[in-house]
Chain A
Amino acid sequence: MSAVFERLRSVFQDVFPNHRGEIQRTTSAKDVEDWDSLMHVNLIVTVEKEFGIRLKTSQIAKLQNVGELSDLVEQVVNQ
């Protein structure tokens, strides 16, 4: 796993403290009960703060799982 993914996993655990399962690249809203549209935004702003980046709606609206979020963060951090 990349360093970005490991940091993301930690952020994810902070935002969703009630989630007990393993956080993997394929983890999606179907696996995490609290991951609704509002908590998605809370996750995104927490990620932005953690990585010092700003993401666009066009980048975040269609994210399907943690892996896609990790790839996006990696791409924006390396720009």
Chain B
Amino acid sequence: MSTSPLDLLNQLWAYVEESHPRSLRGLREAREIDPAYFEGLAAKFLRWAVTARGEDALPSIIDAFVYFSTDVNMAQARYELAGNYENKTFAECDAALYQAGGVMDDYLWGIYLTNFLWAHHLEITKLYEERYLPQVAPNANLVEIAPGHGGWGVLALDRLPEAKLTGYDISPSAMVIARSIAEAAGVGDRAKYEEKDALNLQEVPAEIADACVCGFVVEHLEDPQKLFRVIAHLLKPHGTAFITGALTAAQIDHIYEFRNESELVLMCEVEGLRVTDSLSVAPRRTLPNARYLPRSQALIVQKKAGEIW
């Protein structure tokens, strides 16, 4: 007999209480944002995860989440001391992480859980579900750029019954996980994933997408402006995109250090993308005496159809 989503959430709480008590405060903060939304999203994401990985997979993906969160907090502490992100080039991150199978798997499952276990990420996911997806047509052609675990795109397909999604990612591990989650969510027949570098998507025909999703990719690039150009290339006129990025928030593979919210807005505008909605959120707690406030920024944009529009 399969475990119910509510049981999975209870198992998660029990396992964290027993094995990772230091993480409890953060989980409570996430739940307090909106308890009903938290529980609904958690139930859905956990059900997809155990369907994809097996009923006994829960402890291992929670361990991956705790490892990832610790790694991020350590990176932020080192950033506070050094004043800059540790890695400088995409090649360094690609070799250390994106092409490394086992390491990448844990990294992705860790990030997957942050969508509801980090309070500020839960707020971003809530914006995506409540203010972005209602704008997307039920039969939209979606493109997800560098989907990683694939959760964002799958969430879209889960809500949009006739939509189809193509995801492009440079990491083979990412595509395996994204496919498994799409299958687990029952939308595998409407999702396809191809191994491609997000920055080489100019070779994909222009204006194929009604909507683009690009979650936490821009900060992983040496020249993020190119990615905004790719989004503008892929979108149909009046098409929309949901783009998120990290500001003064260190991570092993964060390269481009965004400092101000206006930087992402400007990069959109340069490529003819009009920002129609945005949100900038930070964790509830920061390191003592922190100089930098790590933030996540979400932008909802629309591709302009004319010079003045």
Contact = CB atoms under 8 A, between A and B. Distances in A.
Interface of A: 28-30, 35-42, 44-45, 57-58, 60-62
A13 B181 CA distance: 45
B287 A42 contact: yes
A49 to B, nearest CB: 9
Given A29-B21, A36-B25, A37-B22, A57 B285 contact: no
A61 B74 CA distance: 10
Interface of B: 21-26, 63, 66-67, 69-71, 73-74, 76-78, 81, 285-288
Contacts of B73: 37-38, 40-41
Contact of B70 (A30, A35, A39, A60): A60
A59 B66 CA distance: 13
A14 to B, nearest CB: 11
Given A36-B285, A45-B81, A61 B21 contact: no
Contacts of B22: 29, 35-37, 39-40
Contacts of A42: 77, 287-288
A41 B26 contact: no
Contacts of A36: 22-26, 285
B21 to A, nearest CB: 4
A48 to B, nearest CB: 9
B86 to A, nearest CB: 12
A61 B66 contact: yes
Given A36-B25, A40-B22, A61 B70 contact: yes
Query: Which secondary structure dominates chain B's binding surface?
Result: helix
Nearest to A45: B77
B74 A37 contact: no
B77 A41 contact: yes
A60 B74 CA distance: 10
Given A35-B22, A36-B26, A57 B71 contact: yes
A60 B279 CA distance: 33
A15 to B, nearest CB: 9
A41 B70 contact: yes
Given A29-B21, A30-B21, A38 B285 contact: yes
Contacts of A28: 21
A40 B66 CA distance: 12
Contacts of A44: 74, 77
Contacts of A60: 70, 74
B255 to A, nearest CB: 19
A45 B74 CA distance: 8
A40 B25 CA distance: 12
Nearest to B285: A38
B90 to A, nearest CB: 21
Contacts of A40: 22, 70, 73
12 contacts: A29-B21, A37-B23, A37-B73, A38-B73, A41-B287, A45-B78, A57-B70, A57-B71, A58-B67, A60-B74, A61-B66, A62-B63
Given A29-B21, A36-B22, A41 B288 contact: no
Contacts of B66: 37, 61
